[in-house]
């Protein structure tokens, strides 16, 4: 009886892969679902990916893969597909004439084995909005695509309730400053109280974990916005808030962000309809309905409204799939993008590229880096086709600068 796995190659090399060769394949595969059958001669465009089903007869299935790029340079690696059953997040050994300018990164687990081919050095996306404004000074918020951080504050855990595990709660691999540098501009903050202080957290029906102090996260936002000539706009969404801490949350946001907060006396102010330049160098802090009594744009406290809905503020169509497999998640989100998304509306469409509902994989890092995120590049590439609808926010777990760069490229 064979075991189904997935093998993905993500091309973040900045050059098209013209062809792929597979050799030294052991005889431990079932039928044609094997690398030498479904990767040989494959071309993978830059900022795209290829994922294939690989059926293993045993837990040992060797293969060697060589990529030839548009400049005729090559990159090769050897691997055992059994890695799909073990969690790995590591730089992987590679050879070839492109090895000096590229790195190979492996993310595996959950029956998936993903290899990211990455250009060197790692991209710094700290100023991508400022660069966009130089080319498109009149672009509106609803006519751009930006990376977004799901459960942005959960890059660490400070404590967990009984039975909760950090692997389930940690959704990001970088702190807020790191996510900002990577290119994320839309942040999901969930506030809870622990002792006398406010913390970000990730909780469900059976408990959860506290992350860093809210003050720490906001301090990092202030540090980013205070950099010289910052023209970036940062959008914060406060929701899933513990009952009773709303007033203290708003107070801390106003005190810590201070002059960095965007404020307006304008009536019927729809954030998505405004030019991006309106928010250049500012933070737009939006708060879900539990904060209704505190909404006041003149003080920098904007309403957050899930679509379909009515009213001013930040309006977002945000409906995640709650699916455990990439295929089901992608089908759900692409259907919603087709029916409800597209640029130029008075609300933003959020594409939630996140996997949930999988009780067999209780590790968000595996779900994101090995199982889900490798599929993103090929879907972004499809969105560049003429007439294709594009999202305004692409929501990710374990966000990184290469994924962000591919999302930002939708604005080209």
Handedness of CA 193, 199, 204, 207 (dihedral sign): negative
Return d(Cα 44, Cα 374) in angstroms, integer: 13
Judge whether 201 and 208 are in contact, CB under 8 Å: yes
pLDDT of residue 115: 98
CB neighbour list of residue 58: distance below 8 Å, 6 or more residues apart: 28
Q: What are phi and psi of 53, to 5 degrees?
A: -80, 135
State the Cα angle at 53 between 51 and 59, rounded to 5°.
120
Return d(Cα 186, Cα 211) in angstroms, integer: 18
| Entry pTM | 0.96
pLDDT of residue 253: 98
Closest listed residue to residue 187, CA positions, set 256, 238, 230, 145: 238
Within this chain, domains 3-119 and 128-411 share the same CATH topology: no
State the Cα angle at 44 between 41 and 45, rounded to 5°.
140
- DSSP designation for 369: I
Return d(Cα 155, Cα 106) in angstroms, integer: 20
pLDDT of residue 58: 79
> Where do the structural domains in the chain lie, given as residue ranges?
3-119, 128-411
CB neighbour list of residue 310: distance below 8 Å, 6 or more residues apart: none
Please give the class, per CATH, of domain 3-119.
Answer: mainly beta
Residue 242 CB burial class (10 angstroms; 0-12, 13-18, ≥19): middle
pLDDT of residue 228: 63
pLDDT of residue 335: 97
Return d(Cα 20, Cα 68) in angstroms, integer: 6
CATH superfamily of this structure's domain 128-411: Phosphatidylinositol (PI) phosphodiesterase (3.20.20.190)
Per-residue pLDDT of the chain (412 residues; tens, 9 = 90+): 688 999 999 999 999 999 999 997 777 888 889 999 999 999 999 999 999 999 998 777 899 999 999 999 999 999 999 999 999 999 999 999 999 999 999 999 999 999 999 999 999 999 999 999 999 999 999 999 999 999 999 999 999 988 888 898 999 999 999 999 999 999 999 999 999 999 999 998 778 999 999 999 999 999 999 986 789 999 999 999 999 999 999 999 999 999 999 999 998 999 999 999 999 999 999 999 999 999 999 999 999 999 988 899 999 999 999 988 999 999 999 999 999 999 999 899 999 999 986 667 789 999 999 999 999 999 999 999 999 999 999 999 999 999 999 999 999 9
């Amino acid at each position: 009886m064979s075991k189904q796995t997935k093998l993905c190659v993500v091309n973040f090399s900045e050059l098209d892969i013209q062809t792929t060769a597979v050799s030294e394949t052991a005889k431990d595969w079932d039928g044609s679902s094997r690398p030498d059958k479904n990767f040989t001669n494959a071309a993978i465009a830059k900022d795209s990916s290829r994922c294939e089903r690989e059926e293993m007869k045993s837990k040992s299935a060797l293969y060697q893969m060589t990529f030839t790029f548009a400049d005729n340079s090559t990159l090769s690696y050897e691997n055992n597909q059994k890695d799909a059953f073990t969690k790995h997040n590591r730089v992987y050994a590679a050879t070839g004439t492109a090895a000096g300018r590229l790195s190979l990164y492996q993310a595996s687990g959950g029956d998936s084995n993903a290899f990211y081919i990455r250009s060197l050095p790692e991209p710094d996306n700290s100023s991508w909005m400022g660069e966009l404004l130089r080319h498109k000074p009149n672009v509106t918020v609803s006519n751009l695509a930006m990376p977004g951080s799901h459960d942005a504050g959960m890059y660490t855990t400070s404590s967990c309730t009984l039975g909760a595990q950090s692997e389930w709660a940690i959704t990001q691999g970088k702190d807020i400053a790191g996510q900002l540098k990577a290119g994320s501009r839309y942040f999901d903050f969930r506030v809870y109280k622990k002792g006398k202080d406010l913390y970000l957290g990730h909780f469900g029906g059976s408990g959860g974990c506290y992350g860093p102090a809210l003050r720490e996260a906001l301090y990092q936002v202030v540090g980013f916005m205070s950099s010289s000539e910052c023209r970036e706009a940062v959008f914060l969404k406060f929701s899933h808030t513990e009952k009773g801490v709303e007033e203290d949350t708003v107070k801390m946001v106003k005190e810590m962000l201070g002059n960095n907060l965007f404020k307006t006396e304008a009536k019927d102010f729809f954030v998505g309809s405004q030019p991006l330049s309106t928010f250049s160098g500012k933070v737009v802090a939006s708060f879900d309905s539990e904060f209704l009594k505190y909404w006041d744009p003149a003080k920098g406290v904007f309403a957050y409204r899930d679509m379909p809905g009515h009213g001013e503020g930040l309006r977002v169509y945000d409906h995640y799939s709650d699916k455990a497999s990439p295929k089901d998640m992608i089908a759900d989100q692409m259907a919603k993008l087709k029916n409800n998304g597209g640029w130029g509306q008075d609300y933003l469409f959020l594409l939630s590229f996140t996997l949930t509902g999988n009780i067999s994989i209780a590790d968000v890092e595996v779900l994101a880096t090995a199982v889900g995120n490798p599929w993103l590049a090929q879907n972004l590439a499809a969105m560049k086709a003429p007439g294709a609808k594009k999202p305004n926010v692409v929501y990710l777990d374990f966000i990184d600068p290469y994924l962000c760069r591919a999302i930002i490229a939708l604005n080209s």
